[in-house]
Amino acid sequence: MARIRTVKPELFRHEGLYELEIESKLPIRISFAGLFTACDRDGRFKWKPRQLKLDVLPFDEVDFSRVLDALVTRGFVVKYENSGEVYGCIPTFCKHQIINNKEKASDLPSVDDEHSNVVDINGVLTREPRVNDATATPLNLDEGERKGKERKGRGKEGKELCQQADDSQLIFDYWCLVMNKTGSAKFTPERKKAVAARINEGYSVDHIKQAIDGCARSDYHMARDGKNKTIYDDLELICRTGSNVEKFALNIGAGSLASGIMNGYQEFMGNDQH
Are the C-beta atoms of residues 94 and 109 closer than 8 Å to each other?
A: no
What value does the mean pLDDT take over residues 91-99?
83
Asked whether residue 119 carries a pLDDT value surpassing 60, the answer given is yes
Residue 262: per-residue pLDDT: 40
Residue 259 has pLDDT above 50, yes or no: no
Region 247-254: mean pLDDT is: 74
Q: Considering only 6-10, 189-193, 268-272, which range has the smallest mean pLDDT? A: 268-272
Alpha carbon separation from 184 to 13, 38, 173, 177, 193 (Å, rounded): 10, 31, 11, 11, 20
- What's residue 100's pLDDT? 81
How many degrees, rounded to 5, is the angle at CA 141 between CA 119 and CA 146? 55
Separation CA 34–CA 17 (nearest Å): 14
Cα 189 to chain centroid, rounded: 13
The stretch 198-207 carries a mean pLDDT of 91
pLDDT at 188 exceeding the cut of 60: yes
Label residue 198 exposed, middle or buried (CB < 10 Å: 0-12, 13-18, 19+). Answer: buried
> What number is the average pLDDT over the span 189-218?
91
Q: What is the pLDDT of residue 242?
A: 94
The per-residue pLDDT for range 120-176, each reduced to its tens digit, is: 555 555 534 333 333 333 333 343 344 444 444 444 555 555 666 678 888 888 888
Neighbours of 119 (CB within 10 A): 22
Q: What pLDDT was estimated at residue 86?
A: 93
pLDDT band at 98 (very low <50, low <70, confident <90, very high): confident
**In this predicted structure, what is the pLDDT of residue 164?**
62
pTM score > 0.85 for this model? no
Q: Please provide the distance, in angstroms rounded to a whole number, between the alpha carbons at the two ends of the chain.
A: 53
How far apart, in whole angstroms, are the C-alpha atoms of residue 49 and residue 68?
Answer: 8
What local confidence, expressed as pLDDT, does residue 191 receive?
Answer: 94
Backbone angles phi, psi at 172, to 5 degrees: -65, -45
Cα 53–Cα 139–Cα 93 angle in degrees, nearest 5: 50
Alpha-helical regions (H) of the chain: 15-24, 28-36, 49-56, 64-73, 93-96, 143-150, 156-178, 189-200, 205-217, 235-238, 242-250, 258-262, 265-270
42-64 tens-digit pLDDT? 999 999 999 999 999 999 999 99
The helix-helix angle for 64-73 and 28-36 (nearest 10°) equals: 90
Task: Identify the pLDDT of residue 173.
Answer: 82
What is the average pLDDT score of the chain?
78
The backbone torsions φ and ψ at residue 17, rounded to the nearest 5 degrees and listed phi first, read: -65, -40
Mean pLDDT of 259-264: 41
- Residue type at 228 in one-letter notation: N
Q: Residue 131 and residue 74: Cα distance in Å, rounded?
A: 9
% of the chain at pLDDT higher than 90: 39
**Which residues lie across from 86 on neighbouring strands?**
81
pLDDT on residue 129: 39
For the chain, the 3-state helix, strand and coil shares in percent, each to the nearest 5, are: 45, 5, 45
Residue-level pLDDT at 157? 52
